[in-house]
A and B are shown apart, each in its own frame.
Chain A
Amino acid sequence: MNLRRLFLIATPYAWLLFFFLIPFGIVFKIALSDYAISIPPYTPTLDLSQGWAGIREFLDGLDFENFTFLASDALYIKAYLSSLKIAAISTAITLLVAYPIAYGMAQAPDEWRPTLMMLVILPFWTSFLIRIYAWIGILSGEGFLNQFLMWTGITSQPLTILNTNTAVYIGIVYAYLPFMILPIYAALEKLDISLIEAAEDLGCTRIQAFWLVTFPLSRPGVIAGCFLVFIPALGEFVIPSILGGNETLMIGKTLYDEFFANRDWPVASAVAVVLLLLLIVPIILFQRNEQKQREAGL
């Protein structure tokens, strides 16, 4: 192994070890510490100048108290469950909205497709914060949606949408729609049209052909899209804090408030550790799905 190769591998490796892996070690450590009114606001702190005795004393100070606290406090359990629920429901809605769009793109004439692709990708490059912010003006009491609904006479009273869970669902669907459209479109685009024609020749109606041929063949894209929406939605912070209200409990927001408002670093770290554990299962499933796709593609 020559020096150049070593340098090439070691530079990004060392960077990620120091700025990614070690910080997680610190999060775990602080999750086992106790809250203290000091700077930094937790105890024990590691004092290497005292040698082994210092390390022993440090290790003795660690415990799982924060995790038992999380498990015993209904607020945190509710926040985790409600994040799971919001993420699952909004993933399902996103799928229902995205599928017809991806299907339409796959059916569109060839010369339209690059433009359609760009139209899907462009919002992704636009500031996430601004796109969520744009919905405040639409959903608020005197917002455009209510103006429209009252103008058409569908409602006589303005609906309360902003600062409710409904607004959070709308925000998540809107923000993550491109993540769902792109993998489904990629799967549909590859689909061999003669399979559908064969199904129809054999007596399927269009709808039967869709359910028996098109949809099963697009399933890898659907699965990938669902993970791409569900995983980030679970830890979402910006959407619930801008569009959500008092009833909206999401764990990302709880963590942020615990840290910045309550300044309880050990509990915030414990919340982070549990969130990470919750995410590991979908992330591993997603990786396995991707792996399977790659192997099937070879």
Chain B
Amino acid sequence: MNRRFSWFNATSLTLGFAFLYLPMVILVIFSFNASKLVTVWAGFSTRWYGELLTNQAFLDAAWVTLKVAVLSSTLATILGTMAAYVLVRAGRFTGRTLFSGMVYAPIVMPEVITGLAMLLLFISIGLDRGVTTIVLAHTTFTMCFVSVVVSSRLVTFDKSLEEAALDLGCTPFDAFRSVTLPIIAPAVISGWLLAFTLSLDDLVIASFAAGPSSTTLPMKIFSSVRLGVSPEINALSTIMIGIVTVGVVTASLLSKRSIARQRAEEQAAVRTT
């Protein structure tokens, strides 16, 4: 539907987006504030970025967070893609209902419950808490998001393409690799990105799964936020907002291009047959 873009529509969009973006804009601007007082502007400075880069505790936490995010999102992408494939393509098997329930449940589960459950598992199997346990916990809850993203792509694409490959003598694995995977690749990549950002961002599950020796960046931010606003956290937030913005904009441009190319190829294929 669209017609008559009224003043009312324009006002609600302007106010709405102002509400969504103003807090972040203020945060970014005040990360360049020279004063330690976070709400009074005292001139431009990059001082807090310098202090951030010499703060060993933050650097260590950033390193742990990055390691966890890369490992868990990669594992989650593999497992989540498998789960999506099973849900969409594997047909009926014993315990399918339980399986699909387990795939969707972690998405709606409050983080405090997932975190608590994970921690109790790690303790009862005697696994020492640290980077490994955070990776395991993050893999479990992010694989479900990957599987939702990938399965929404799998349901929309034509199964007969896979069947044609099989008829032409491909093994099921070859058919997956040379037909299915290229088609679902954008969804797999955005699934990975989603898992990566969820892992980077997670505070609650990480606090349960982390041991005393491993602190992630959100945990570090949370403990300093409880003491109030600090210009260093503003600087750190600005860096993280910057990375995400660049990443999302690039990813959306890339996917736009790859969708356009795919459409062109599909049309070309239709014309030649």
Do residues A143 and B39 form an inter-chain contact, with CB atoms below 8 A? yes
Query: When the two chains form the complex, which single residue of B79, B116, B241 contacts A269, counting CB atoms closer than 8 Å?
Result: B116
Do residues B233 and A23 form an inter-chain contact, with CB atoms below 8 A? no
Interface locus among B15-23, B46-54, B264-272: B15-23
Do residues A8 and B201 form an inter-chain contact, with CB atoms below 8 A? no
Q: Which residues of the other chain, B, contact A129 by a CB distance below 8 angstroms?
A: 201, 203, 218, 221-222, 225
B89 CB, min distance to chain A CBs, angstroms? 9
- Chain B CB within 8 A of A109 CB: yes
Q: Which residues of the other chain, B, contact A241 by a CB distance below 8 angstroms?
A: 226
Q: How large is the interface on B (under 10, 10 to 19, 20 to 34, 35 or more residues)?
A: 35 or more
Do residues B120 and A269 form an inter-chain contact, with CB atoms below 8 A? yes
- Chain B CB within 8 A of A54 CB: no
Interface locus among A71-79, A149-157, A275-283: A275-283
Do residues A8 and B85 form an inter-chain contact, with CB atoms below 8 A? yes
Do residues B225 and A108 form an inter-chain contact, with CB atoms below 8 A? no
- Chain B CB within 8 A of A265 CB: yes
Q: Which residues of the other chain, B, contact A116 by a CB distance below 8 angstroms?
A: 13
Do residues B204 and A237 form an inter-chain contact, with CB atoms below 8 A? yes
* Nearest CB in chain A to that of B40: its residue: A142
- Chain A CB within 8 A of B38 CB: yes
A294 CB, min distance to chain B CBs, angstroms? 11
A265 CB, min distance to chain B CBs, angstroms? 7
A274 CB, min distance to chain B CBs, angstroms? 11
* Nearest CB in chain B to that of A141: its residue: B39
Within 8 A of A (CB), among B77-119: 79-80, 82-83, 85-86, 90, 93, 95, 99, 102-103, 105-106, 108, 110-113, 116-118
* Nearest CB in chain A to that of B20: its residue: A123
Q: Give the dominant DSSP class at A's interface.
A: helix
Within 8 A of B (CB), among A58-117: 97-98, 100-101, 103-110, 116
Do residues B39 and A142 form an inter-chain contact, with CB atoms below 8 A? yes
Given contacts A106-B2, A283-B108, contact A255 B83 (CB under 8 A): no
Query: When the two chains form the complex, which single residue of B3, B112, B118, B123 contacts A19, counting CB atoms closer than 8 Å?
Result: B118
Bound form: Cα–Cα A129–B111 in Å: 14
Do residues B90 and A8 form an inter-chain contact, with CB atoms below 8 A? yes
Q: Mark B246-257, 1 if CB is under 8 A from A, else 0.
A: 011100100000
Given contacts A20-B140, A21-B102, A108-B5, contact A101 B13 (CB under 8 A): yes
Centre residue among B95, B106, B201 by max chain A CB count within 10 A: B201
- Chain B CB within 8 A of A30 CB: yes
Bound form: Cα–Cα A189–B85 in Å: 30
Q: Which residues of the other chain, B, contact A119 by a CB distance below 8 angstroms?
A: 17, 20-21
- Chain A CB within 8 A of B32 CB: no
Given contacts A11-B82, A23-B117, A101-B16, contact A134 B10 (CB under 8 A): no
Bound form: Cα–Cα A133–B95 in Å: 43
Bound form: Cα–Cα A234–B252 in Å: 32
Bound form: Cα–Cα A9–B9 in Å: 49
Q: Which residues of the other chain, A, contact B1 by a CB distance below 8 angstroms?
A: 106-107, 188-193, 196
Do residues B240 and A127 form an inter-chain contact, with CB atoms below 8 A? yes
Q: Mark B180-211, 1 if CB is under 8 A from A, else 0.
A: 00000000000000000100110110011000
Bound form: Cα–Cα A101–B24 in Å: 19
Do residues B121 and A125 form an inter-chain contact, with CB atoms below 8 A? no
Q: Mark A178-198, 1 if CB is under 8 A from B, else 0.
A: 100100000011111100100
- Chain B CB within 8 A of A136 CB: yes
Given contacts A97-B19, A104-B13, A252-B112, contact A15 B79 (CB under 8 A): yes
- Chain B CB within 8 A of A40 CB: yes
Q: Which residues of the other chain, B, contact A56 by a CB distance below 8 angstroms?
A: none
Do residues B248 and A127 form an inter-chain contact, with CB atoms below 8 A? no
Do residues A20 and B105 form an inter-chain contact, with CB atoms below 8 A? yes
Using a CB–CB distance below 8 Å, which chain A residues touch chain B? 1, 4-5, 8-9, 11-13, 15-17, 19-24, 26-27, 30, 40, 97-98, 100-101, 103-110, 116, 118-123, 125-131, 133-138, 140, 142-144, 147, 174, 177-178, 181, 188-193, 196, 231-232, 234-238, 241-242, 252, 255-256, 259-260, 265, 268-269, 272, 275-276, 279, 283, 286
Q: A9-B93, A126-B24 given; name 6 further pairs at CB < 8 Å.
A: A4-B173, A19-B121, A125-B248, A231-B108, A235-B110, A252-B112
Can you report 5 A-B residue pairs in the complex whose CB atoms are below 8 A from each other? A1-B93, A9-B86, A15-B140, A122-B245, A236-B110
Query: 8 closest A-B pairs (Cβ-Cβ)?
Result: A235-B110, A23-B117, A100-B12, A101-B16, A104-B9, A134-B23, A12-B83, A23-B121
